[in-house]
A and B are shown apart, each in its own frame.
Chain A
Amino acid sequence: MDRAEVLRRLEEWGARLAKSILELEEPAMEIPARTLSNTVWDERARMLRLGPERIRRRFLDVKEARKFMQTVLMLRLIAEAIREGVYPTIRDLYYNGKHTIIYRDPWGRTHSENTWEEQDESNAVIEDIEVAVNALREEMGVSADVKGKVVGPVVIRSQGYELDASKFGETALSLPVNVDALEIVKVEASYVLVVEKDAIFQRLVRERFWSQEGAVIITAKGMPDRATRRFVRRLSEEFKLPVYVLTDGDPYGWYIYSVYKSGSIKLSYESERLATPGAKFIGLTASDIDEYKISDNYVIAATERDVKRARELLRYPWFQRPEWAREINLFLKRRKKVEIEALSTHGLKFLHDYIRDKIRRGKFID
């Protein structure tokens, strides 16, 4: 979808709202609900999808009025960006729209309120607009910070330049905002290794683990952004490469894996494009503490938040595999977690052995 079409949809949505206001009908926005209850686990496709629920965001509802205002404000910001031919980031839009509304009421009191406080608020309405007009942020020309980095035997073409991700020495190739604009020229890898943590990524690069394994190593420094997820998905889909995800042994690591694999609750409408259903988990599990004889010095007591998060995972349909049920229950029983770094319990090189062990001997969770 080109930006002109996106603009047409945005204007059409705005016109519907303006029409009901001018005709003195209560203005309401119909927006597919981006909630857990409206996130549907598609068993067959093995990914999260947006369900049929819609919310009605009504201006005359005191609880909704602020969000209504924010949505209309963002609608204007995006429409203006497209009309002016500029490509703002979501942070640009946050700053662009952030100002103080000063309202003097009929009683002479002055009220002041910021259009939004945190970027989370402006990000949320961007996502609402995406689902409401059924156009992706990338299609609107709105970008986000991309955290993704790649190293390995893969050559891409960007704006006419060929970039070989194996020739970055100790640095790495940074992924661009719109991964779909890249051409993946050549891949000579045997698998893709997605690493949760940047520190581990850098170690594997310096230790030339990727070249020994013929692997493409990718990190998004924690919770993955859309571009990184899309790139992983393309490698898996277009080059049939197996994808392994290496995370810490805690509920946050496990959820990050599930985001690469199945999609996220907030962006379930994007799973179709972003999820990599074949991704396999080679991060640490609760039973690995025994399995790999990790010294007590490296084992950390789980916090209340960890426990709460783990219980949530247990309820998610996409965690309903016997392996996950077993591991999460074990975690809840022992209340112990481990970071990837804990593998140094057997020397610094042990990380390499661990990864090979998990992949070669099929000790992953699918």
Chain B
Amino acid sequence: MYHYEALPAAEWFRRNRELAGFHNPARALYQTVRELVENALDATETYGILPTVYVRIGVVDEQRGWVSVYAEDNGIGIPGGEIPNVLGRVFYSSKYRVRQHRGIFGLGLKMIVLYAQSTTNRPVYVRSATLKSDKIYEYAIMIDTNSNSPAVLHRQEYPNKYKWHGTAIKVCIEGNWHAAKRRIEEYLRRTAIVAPYAEIIFRGPDVSLRLGRRTTKMPPPPEEGLPHPKTVDADMLKQMVRENGSATLLELLAGNFDGVGRETARAFAAWAGLAPDARVSELSQDDLVRLAERMRQYEGWRRPRAVSLSPAGAELLELGARAILGAEAVFAVTRKPESYGGHPFIVEAAVAWGGQIPPAERPLLLRYANKIPLLYDEGVDVARKVADEFSWQNYRVRFPAPLAVIVHVCSTKIPYVSAGKEAIADIPEIEREIRLALRDAAKKLRAYLARREREAELVEKYVSLAKYVDEIAHSLAVVTGASRARLAESLHRLIERKIGMTAEELLRRA
């Protein structure tokens, strides 16, 4: 990413529009909503705040295809002085730390500002207040693409009488609402499945959607973690050396990497044939490249820890899938943390059955990466492959079946297939975990289906006998003079004894 620093940002944007997901007016509108919603969720749930997110899309100029997008959250806000840089300087980022985020460095936000600028030439309006702030700051900002710096068109402060906190952003872009509508709705619904603790209120030109909060339980926010030594590259080492100029190699390693203490650092140095006491500031560029290589090759590191990951958790997945998919039953599992190439990851999976899920020849697949729904490029996603190859017939599933599969991969680094970031690549470690997660969830589904089948058989048996009771009781009463009501009651009791439970019990169960 740092290679691009020298390029004027607008130029970079022009060249990389597709990379960032702004191919065309429909995709750009979808991407804008997505970036804003993800920033809103990151600004809330990461800090233990129950998210409330409003999103509004309006038509500004139908002729020219201009639409406005407004998004507001109740998050931690952006400090007043930081607002211009956060929105107006490309590649402005904080210190290098890993933690599961939806977006990366808020880059998406700047892409929106640039996109707005290049299509409508309108600024982005921002209003924000941090927690307990006395003031609300309001800005209108554009990006000066020559100097790659924010241009503040307007700035104002208001007293924050009601201690509001959060961020509200409004942009005017070229966008195709009608073409993007279905995807945007789908995106919001799928977001609500993994974040049932969020309230998402959406209003578009001809649609409104209110995805209510289903629970106030939130998964614990991820902790900030250090990068694993297997994930370093020379750029990263350079930055670390700049910040720790006086440190020795031992100190650099033991203080800045996940799971590396003095013991491990010393063992690595011995293996790599490096002097542990050498000053890092004296290492040449070539030395740093070699050090990074050795660090990636060394097999003696401890496994990466997953403290920086935040899975949704089986309970929330089940809750969300039941509510949004209208499923009759949902079974979810969260696997134990694993890692690939030094990046910790956790796979979660849920299988949802019946209810409003339409029966289909293969499972409906809902994919997530770090709680972001992935809507495009399903065909090349590893989860699609695993779900299709899975032996569903071993789990009492016969297609067409009303089956939905949810796969959530969270990681400090999601291995996307391409820069479009819409499909997860076929990494053997991840593929294996997805398969195991599906197996665990499908086992629960199998038990559920078996129980349901047994109950359905009992119900069928009950019905096939009970339907004749009145006819028989009536006829025998006429022939013998016995009480019709008593005959019917006895027949019912005989049936209940035969199926081993009373009608009420059966009714409760099935």
**A interface with B by C-beta (< 8 Å):** 10-11, 14-15, 17-18, 21-22, 24, 26-27, 59-60, 62, 65-66, 68-69, 72-73, 75-76, 79-80, 101, 103, 105-107, 111, 113, 115
Contact = CB atoms under 8 A, between A and B. Distances in A.
A73 B479 CA distance: 10
Given A24-B490, A106-B507, A73 B464 contact: no
Contacts of A27: 494
Contact of A60 (B476, B480, B494, B507): B494
A24 B475 contact: no
Interface string B53-72: 00000000000000000000
Nearest to B468: A69
B463 interface: yes
23 contacts: A14-B476, A14-B479, A21-B476, A22-B482, A22-B486, A22-B490, A26-B494, A59-B468, A62-B464, A65-B464, A72-B476, A72-B479, A75-B479, A79-B478, A79-B479, A101-B470, A101-B471, A103-B466, A103-B467, A103-B470, A105-B463, A106-B506, A107-B459
Contacts, number: 93
A62 B479 contact: no
Contact of B468 (A15, A17, A101): A101
B468 A65 contact: yes
Contacts of A79: 478-479
A11 B471 contact: no
B233 to A, nearest CB: 63
Nearest to B464: A62
A22 B492 CA distance: 11
Nearest to B474: A76
B456 to A, nearest CB: 11
A270 B470 CA distance: 34
Nearest to A17: B476
B465 interface: yes
Nearest to B507: A106
A359 B494 CA distance: 63
Contacts of A111: 463, 467
Contact of B480 (A14, A26, A65, A113): A14
A75 B468 contact: no
A76 B464 contact: no
Given A24-B490, A60-B498, A76-B475, A15 B480 contact: yes
A72 B475 contact: yes
A311 to B, nearest CB: 36
A41 to B, nearest CB: 36
B497 interface: yes
Contact of B467 (A60, A75, A101): A101
B366 interface: no
Interface residues of B, number: 33
B163 interface: no
The 3 closest A-B pairs by CB, nearest first: A14-B479, A103-B467, A76-B475
Interface string B485-500: 0110011011101100
B152 interface: no
Among B474, B479, B494, B504, max chain A CB count under 10 A is at B479
B468 A22 contact: no
Interface in B414-464: 459, 461-464
Nearest to B461: A62
B476 A18 contact: yes
A10 B491 contact: no
Nearest to A60: B498
Contacts of B470: 101, 103
Contact of B487 (A18, A113, A115): A18
B180 interface: no
A68 B479 contact: no
Contacts of B475: 72-73, 75-76
B288 interface: no
B472 A59 contact: yes
A11 B480 contact: yes
A69 B472 contact: yes
A106 B494 contact: no
Nearest to A108: B507
B480 A18 contact: yes
B267 to A, nearest CB: 68
B26 interface: no
A27 B487 CA distance: 11
A11 B478 CA distance: 10
B503 interface: yes
A14 B461 CA distance: 25
B72 to A, nearest CB: 45
Nearest to B482: A18
Contacts of B471: 69, 72-73, 101, 115
A166 B474 CA distance: 52
Given A26-B494, A60-B465, 19 more contacts: A10-B479, A11-B479, A15-B479, A15-B482, A17-B476, A18-B487, A21-B490, A27-B494, A59-B468, A60-B494, A69-B468, A72-B472, A75-B475, A76-B479, A103-B466, A103-B470, A105-B459, A106-B506, A111-B463
A73 B469 CA distance: 12
Nearest to A79: B479
B471 to A, nearest CB: 5
Given A106-B507, A115-B471, A65 B479 contact: no
Contacts of A24: 490, 493-494, 497
B465 A65 contact: yes
A341 B467 CA distance: 52
A364 to B, nearest CB: 49
A22 B479 contact: no
Contact of B494 (A17, A21, A115): A21
